């Protein structure tokens, strides 16, 4: 009896399978499921642009409509990856233009995108709808103009924290009068002012506009007129919040804010003058997301504002909020799920009175039952606080603690923070992302290896004592997918012992550690499915094998050696003679 379902039926069933993780499982069942699945997948995620070639992706997924690509390693955000390393969008865009002309959405993160790329997108994809660039660089406002003028069905244009060569604000004027489909516009990272009248006209002919994030150059007064044109906004990023307004302008602006009945998310708020904070009160009760991380608002004003945000789920704020402010947040924002506290620079190391400590986070953890994601920069911490937080919040999924002075011990007991992090990994069984800091011995990593079974991403800096640290992690953390390490004293042994583990992970980054060039060569020989990149300004071939290299970046790949490596990146493919002749391969 033929039990095979006709492919049309299979296709229909698969159309309900949304998550790509599920789709990946589906495609492993059998050949016919693989074939049917691949013909129906529309949204593709390539989380390392060098893991696979664009041609292979286009070939496998002929119905691709949306592609998400990530390029540089995460530590590129902190200037640890030299310019010119790679992550170029061009080869992808070129290939897709030819093979996937029906592409509608492109989301790129940490990639080098040039004006040529943007022009190519504008020229090649007739149905193009969404361009989201996060932490990208290499393009200018001219490239934006090319997108604006040509993409007649554009819905989303978002530039998140990109480094853009700013040639002026004209690019916005290139959106044609016929473009009425805009849903989301984010130009918050640009410096130059756009022409207000063009922006107003664009907003007023975009009835579907739900998300608008302005840049700092948009004044408070201009904001008022824009809000009146778009009361349907769900997400708003203001510009600068500090003009001198007269009484009439203030009350008009207040009225405009109170008309934003759908607003759920608020950000921007540069240069907030305390006297204008009450303008926001009317939207507070509906807000689920509030980003005050660029707003230099002092604690009392923050408390006034946040006490009105009873539905807040996501809060990003600076450490100006202090422990007292976080206590207030705890009592007002019971729905809080995600908290990020960034350094303001006010907590200088010279200040002896520290107003934001571990206590702030402890308060929030005590009271907010849904808190599952934390990023916390602070000057000091204690084991006791970590133990308390773990006990209060076993549901934590993401815990990133950055004690700003490297090697800081528990400030009460002067002991390492090993026991504290032990409590975190033991107590929070669903922890998927962890960043550690402070004084940590190898013990801490033994605990993480033993208990951190669900950890997928782990970030470590200035910690540990020996190779054991890495060994514990690579042999213990079963779900480990991304590991990034800087300035830790370990080297070759653990890396080579656990070489097989590296094929089960997306990537490993190590900088300023003790990994030798010889180990890199050996690893490259043993593991052909990995790209072992040595990123070092001084060519490693001219040094002894035992000399340590500056940075290594190791990732699994189906694409083989990169063809776009700069001079300062070495892989075994560059010097095949050296690779083969000097080593005795077991």
Site residues for another protein, 197-236, by CB under 8 A, read 216
Site residues for another protein, window 372-411 (CB under 8 A)? 377, 402, 404-409
DSSP-based three-state secondary structure for 123? helix
Nearest to 519 by CA among 481, 554, 546: 546
What b-and-e string marks burial along 390-400, b requiring 16 or more CB atoms within 10 Å of the CB? bebbeebbbbb
Q: Is 249 in the site for another protein (CB under 8 A)?
A: no
Tell me how far, at minimum, the Cβ of 501 lies from another protein, in Å: 14
Taking a C-beta distance cutoff of 8 angstroms, is the pair 281, 305 a contact?
yes
Q: Which member of 1, 6, 78, 577 binds another protein (CB under 8 A)?
A: 78
Nearest to 144 by CA among 168, 126, 178, 127: 168
Q: Which member of 82, 91, 168, 369 binds another protein (CB under 8 A)?
A: 82
Q: Which stretch binds another protein (CB under 8 A): 30-38, 125-133, 142-150, 521-529?
A: 521-529
Residue nearer to another protein on the CB measure, 7 or 344? 344
Distance linking the first and last C-alpha atoms of the chain: 51
| Separation of alpha carbons 313 and 463, rounded Å | 33
Residue nearer to another protein on the CB measure, 80 or 131? 80
The pairing of strands 457-461 and 507-511 is: unpaired
Tell me how far, at minimum, the Cβ of 373 lies from another protein, in Å: 17
Q: Is 368 in the site for another protein (CB under 8 A)?
A: no
Tell me how far, at minimum, the Cβ of 311 lies from another protein, in Å: 26
Residue nearer to another protein on the CB measure, 96 or 460? 460
Q: Which member of 46, 365, 518, 557 binds another protein (CB under 8 A)?
A: 518
| Separation of alpha carbons 368 and 114, rounded Å | 44
Per-residue interface string for the shown chain with another protein, residues 278-317, x marking contact by CB under 8 A: ---------------xx-x---------------------
**273-279: long-range contacts (C-beta < 8 A, 24 or more apart)?**
273/241, 273/242, 274/298, 274/301, 276/220, 276/241, 276/242, 276/245, 276/250, 277/301, 277/304, 277/305, 278/254, 279/250, 279/253, 279/254
Distances (CA, A) of 438 to 150, 309, 314, 435, 456: 51, 33, 26, 11, 21
Residue nearer to another protein on the CB measure, 61 or 241? 241
Q: Which stretch binds another protein (CB under 8 A): 10-18, 48-56, 347-355, 363-371?
A: 347-355
Site residues for another protein, window 554-573 (CB under 8 A)? 566-568
Site residues for another protein, window 48-77 (CB under 8 A)? 75, 77
Residue nearer to another protein on the CB measure, 136 or 368? 136
The secondary structure of residue 516, as a DSSP letter, is: B
Tell me how far, at minimum, the Cβ of 565 lies from another protein, in Å: 13
Residue nearer to another protein on the CB measure, 261 or 538? 538
Distances (CA, A) of 250 to 274, 278, 283: 13, 10, 16
Tell me how far, at minimum, the Cβ of 445 lies from another protein, in Å: 16
Tell me how far, at minimum, the Cβ of 515 lies from another protein, in Å: 9
Q: Which member of 286, 314, 486, 556 binds another protein (CB under 8 A)?
A: 486
| Separation of alpha carbons 258 and 556, rounded Å | 52
Q: Is 473 in the site for another protein (CB under 8 A)?
A: no
Q: Which member of 56, 163, 500, 580 binds another protein (CB under 8 A)?
A: 163
Q: Is 345 in the site for another protein (CB under 8 A)?
A: yes
182: how many CB neighbours lie within 10 A of its CB?
21
Q: Is 68 exposed, middle or buried (0-12, 13-18, 19+ CB in 10 A)?
A: middle
How big is the site for another protein, counted in residues (CB under 8 A)?
82
Nearest to 237 by CA among 182, 181, 174, 189: 189
Tell me how far, at minimum, the Cβ of 145 lies from another protein, in Å: 18
The pairing of strands 137-140 and 156-160 is: unpaired
Q: Is 142 in the site for another protein (CB under 8 A)?
A: no
Nearest to 167 by CA among 150, 136, 190, 146: 190
Per-residue interface string for the shown chain with another protein, residues 6-45, x marking contact by CB under 8 A: ----------------------------------------
């Amino acid at each position: 009896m033929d039990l095979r379902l006709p492919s049309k039926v299979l296709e229909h069933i698969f159309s309900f399978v949304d998550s790509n993780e599920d789709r990946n499982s589906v495609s492993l069942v059998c050949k016919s499921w693989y074939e049917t699945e691949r013909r129906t997948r529309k949204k593709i995620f390539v989380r390392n642009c060098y893991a696979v070639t664009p041609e292979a992706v286009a070939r496998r997924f002929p119905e691709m409509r949306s592609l998400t690509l990530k390029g540089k390693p995460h530590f590129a955000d902190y200037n640890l990856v030299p310019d010119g390393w790679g992550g170029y969008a061009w080869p992808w865009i070129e290939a897709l233009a030819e093979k996937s002309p029906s592409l509608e959405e492109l989301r790129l993160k940490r990639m080098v995108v040039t004006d040529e790329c943007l022009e190519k997108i504008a020229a090649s994809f007739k149905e193009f709808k969404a361009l989201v660039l996060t932490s990208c660089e290499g393009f200018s406002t001219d490239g934006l103009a090319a997108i604006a003028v040509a993409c007649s069905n554009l819905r989303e244009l978002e530039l998140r924290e990109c480094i853009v060569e700013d040639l002026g604000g004209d690019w916005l004027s290139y959106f044609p009068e016929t473009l009425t489909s805009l849903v989301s516009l984010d130009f918050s990272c640009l410096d130059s002012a756009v022409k207000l009248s063009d922006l107003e006209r664009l907003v007023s002919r975009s009835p579907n506009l739900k998300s608008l994030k302005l840049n700092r150059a948009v004044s408070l007064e201009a904001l008022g007129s824009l809000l009146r044109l778009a009361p349907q906004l769900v997400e708003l990023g203001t510009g600068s919040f500090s003009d001198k307004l007269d009484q009439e302008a203030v009350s008009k602006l207040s009225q405009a804010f109170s008309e934003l009945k759908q607003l759920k998310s608020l950000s921007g708020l540069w240069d907030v003058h305390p006297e204008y904070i009450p303008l926001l009160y009317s939207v507070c009760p509906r807000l689920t997301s509030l980003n005050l991380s660029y707003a230099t608002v002092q604690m009392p004003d923050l408390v006034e504002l946040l006490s009105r945000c009873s539905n807040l789920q996501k809060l990003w704020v600076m450490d100006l909020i202090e422990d007292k402010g976080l206590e207030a947040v705890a009592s007002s924002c019971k729905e809080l799920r995600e908290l990020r506290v960034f350094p303001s620079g006010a907590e200088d190391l010279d200040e002896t009175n520290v107003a934001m400590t571990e206590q702030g986070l402890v308060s929030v953890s005590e009271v907010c039952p849904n808190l599952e994601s934390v990023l916390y920069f602070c000057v000091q911490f204690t084991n006791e606080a970590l133990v308390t937080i773990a006990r209060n919040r076993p549901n934590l999924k993401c815990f990133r603690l950055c004690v700003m002075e490297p090697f800081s011990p528990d400030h009460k007991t002067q002991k390492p923070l090993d026991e504290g992090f032990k409590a975190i990994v033991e107590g929070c069984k669903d922890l998927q992302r962890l960043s550690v800091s402070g004084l940590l011995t190898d013990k801490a990593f033994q605990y993480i290896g033993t208990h951190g079974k669900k950890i997928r991403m782990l970030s470590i800096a200035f910690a540990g004592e020996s190779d054991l640290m890495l060994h514990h992690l690579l042999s213990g953390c079963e779900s480990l997918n991304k590991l990034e390490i800087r300035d830790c004293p370990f080297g070759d042994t653990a890396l080579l012992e656990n070489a097989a583990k590296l094929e089960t992970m997306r990537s490993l980054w190590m900088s300023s550690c003790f990994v030798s060039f010889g180990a890199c060569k050996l690893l490259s020989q043993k593991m052909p499915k990995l790209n072992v990149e040595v990123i070092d300004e001084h060519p490693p071939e001219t040094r002894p094998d035992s000399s340590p290299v500056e940075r290594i970046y190791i990732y699994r790949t189906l694409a083989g050696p990169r063809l776009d490596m700069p001079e300062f990146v070495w892989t075994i493919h560059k010097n095949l003679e050296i690779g083969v002749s000097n080593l005795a391969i077991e």
